[in-house]
A and B are shown apart, each in its own frame.
Chain A
Amino acid sequence: MKTQFARKFAVYLLLTIAVSLMLVPFYWMINTSLKSSVELLRTPPTMIPAELRFQNFLDALIKAPFLRYLSNTVFVAIAVVAVSTAVTVLAAFAFARLRFRGKTLLFFAVLGTMMVPQEMLIITNFMTVSKLGWMNSWQALIVPYCINPFNIYLLRQTFKQVPDELYLVSRVDGVSHFRYLQKVVLPLSKSSIVTTMILSTIWIWDSYAWPNLITTDDGKRLVSNGLQNAFTSDTGRIQYELQMAAATMVIVPLVLFFLLLRKYILSGMDKGGLKG
């Protein structure tokens, strides 16, 4: 009995140590983000800010212009989620339910592209986008993200789980495909659709390479790109307290997003998280 208790205690202790270690960066980030620029330069650094300087967040928003980056990212994320959800739902429904020639071949094309590392696509997409004259445009930030083979696959699997008989009944009753999709399939697949929307949002929020390549205009930069170079002061010193405040503003929304929608994210995880 005693050893049982000791063992349990040890397990919790080890887990707590591991979690604490893992949370250290979050602590250091928030700690730094609240220091004044004077306090920041103290060595050894203070473990808790002597004075909480929330002004850093405002400064970061205005200076970079980080507010601009944030609103750009939110705008792009909303646009991508809206368009790609529509595109994905329609295609997934066709693959799950409709009968047409070339279905197997096309579906294999979708599956095939899932295997290819997305990074290799960047080269040609860059060429395409520049030929279309889309450099530094919203289209370039939005359109290429609107196709996601994994989401098509995920939703097709979900749609296939809706019993055949529901479809057959609605066919016999003269309900159109679109109505059936709208009134039966979508409500029954709500949680999977929300999952794909969340995964898309995270995807945009974290994307770095593509937006970095096609935007040179500060007015169209996304948070990940803005973070890096924005906080160098006139003297060439990096203003860490502002950088960390900005990093906090990038990280915290997604953490909150996750905590609120945990159920959906974890359900899409097994397959989805690996893409990131």
Chain B
Amino acid sequence: MQVRLEQVTKTFAGSKNTQATAVKELDVTIASGKLVGLLGPSGCGKSTTLFMIAGIHDVSEGHIYFGDHDVTALPSDKRGVGIVFQNYALYPHLTVWDNIAFPLLNAKEMKKRLKQRFAELSPPMANFKAYIQRLVEEAAKLVELTAYLDRKPAELSGGQQQRVAIARAIVKNPSILLLDEPLSNLDARLRVQTRDEIKRIQKQTGITTVFVTHDQDEALSICDEVIILKDGVLQQQGPPQEVYDHPANQFVAEFLGSPQINLVGGSIKANKLYLGNEEWFALPESLSDQPVNIGVRYENIRPDRENRKQAFEATVTSIARTGGTSTVQVRLADGQPMRLHRDSDDVLQEGDRVRLYARPRTVYIFNAEGEKILQC
């Protein structure tokens, strides 16, 4: 199901009649069947947005649509969403089986619908209990926990607990699956494993999934699309690679990518770009004179041997070798540092004077407000 947020604003009442705006006039459409990451630093409003979609937080202004249906005023239990929390929120006193079956057996509406579906089953099943059993087993199979149905949550690893939470959210066949920082409580190894698992489960079920995270690695690696928020304001939306290659502004450019993008002060004078104080290259478009920040990612800076465009000179100040690649730090003429990745077998030495270039379409020019004014 498609989810559409239209001019959604959320304000919280603060102390002494102040109001804090958590989300501001958010316009976003999440396509049906996609895995979409809501991404941003903590406090950017991403979880608030998720809770508004879930109906846990009310919307201060604006509307939320599921498909064509306006759900803004609908209580959460009527929205047909499944939710998974960062801390798993499993019922600690119940077994895995009971946890997964909980929404099926304890929600009135759900039970009614299941009874109806049960009556219409073909071929018919012997009894309702067996039907529930089948649904629970299917969900457990999907998250590969069939062997653990009798265990209590405390007897499972973090990753397994998270999968139980996912099974519980999808067993009721929700139209939308909402995941709030589902990986933050896991250790690094499990995190990679579980995120691939989430991707697989989402692909297998085809449920529209919104995934909140502050970790850009996670979002970039599994999402079909990312939505980047800062201070409650939408920064950019698009497929991960595209957002990575074409950041809308300096915030997105800095936020995405690890290691963080090189940012160097410079200026535009007479339609020429200055890297530091040195003239770099002539701009293809005419722009007014102004100070700018220039961003280039590590991997887009290479040694220049053929006198390419967008080349510049620098001095190697240090080389850090880590296995197959090394990170080379250089200094521009005015002393500003930049870093790039090289193969470890490069013969660079500290103090070497090197000629480098930035690959075409990888130089981002941001104005003083942080907006991208050109990409060369």
Given A174-B110, A175-B102, answer yes or no on A184-B91 (Cβ-Cβ < 8 Å).
Answer: yes
In chain A, residues 146-165, which have Cβ atoms closer than 8 Å to a Cβ of chain B? 163, 165
Determine if B107 is an interface residue (Cβ-Cβ < 8 Å).
yes
**Of B74-82, B207-215, B345-353, the one with at least 4 CB within 8 A of chain A:** B74-82
Task: Report chain A residues within 8 Å CB of B81.
Answer: 172
Are B85 and A174 within 8 A (Cβ)? no
Contact A169 B107 (CB under 8 A): no
B168: which A residues are within 8 A, CB to CB? 169, 173
Using Cβ atoms and an 8 Å threshold, which residues of chain A touch B85? 165, 168-169
A179 to B79, CA, bound (A): 19
CB-contact partner of A173 in B87, B92, B110, under 8 A: B110
Question: Are B89's CB and A168's CB within 8 A?
Answer: yes
**Contact residues in A for B92 (Cβ distance below 8 Å):** 188
Given contacts A174-B108, A175-B107, contact A188 B93 (CB under 8 A): yes
Of residues 93 to 134 in A, which have CB atoms within 8 Å of B's CB atoms?
Answer: none
A165-B87 contact given A172-B56, A172-B77, A174-B77, CB 8 Å threshold: yes
Chain A residue at smallest Cβ distance from B81: A172
Q: Does B83 contact A (CB under 8 A)?
A: yes
Q: Which residues of B contact A174 (CB under 8 A)?
A: 77-78, 103, 107-110
Tell me the smallest distance from the CB of A140 to a CB of chain B, in Å: 39
Distance between Cα atoms of A183 and B108 in the complex (Å):
14
| Docked pose: A169 CA to B172 CA in angstroms | 13
A176 CB contact (under 8 Å) in B89, B108, B172 = B108
Say whether, besides A163-B89, A165-B89, A184-B91, A172 and B83 are in contact (CB < 8 Å). Answer: yes
- B contact residues around A276 at 8 Å (CB): none
- Cβ distance A97 to chain B, nearest Cβ, rounded Å: 14
**In chain B, residues 53-78, which have Cβ atoms closer than 8 Å to a Cβ of chain A?**
54-56, 76-78
Binding site for B on A (CB under 8 A): 163, 165-166, 168-176, 179, 183-184, 187-188
A-B contact pairs, 19 of them (CB 8 A): A165-B89, A168-B76, A168-B85, A168-B89, A169-B83, A170-B102, A171-B77, A172-B54, A172-B56, A173-B77, A173-B107, A174-B107, A174-B109, A175-B107, A179-B106, A183-B91, A184-B91, A188-B92, A188-B93
With A174-B110, A184-B93 known, 12 other A-B pairs at CB within 8 A are A163-B87, A168-B83, A170-B103, A172-B56, A172-B79, A173-B102, A174-B78, A175-B103, A175-B107, A176-B108, A184-B91, A187-B93
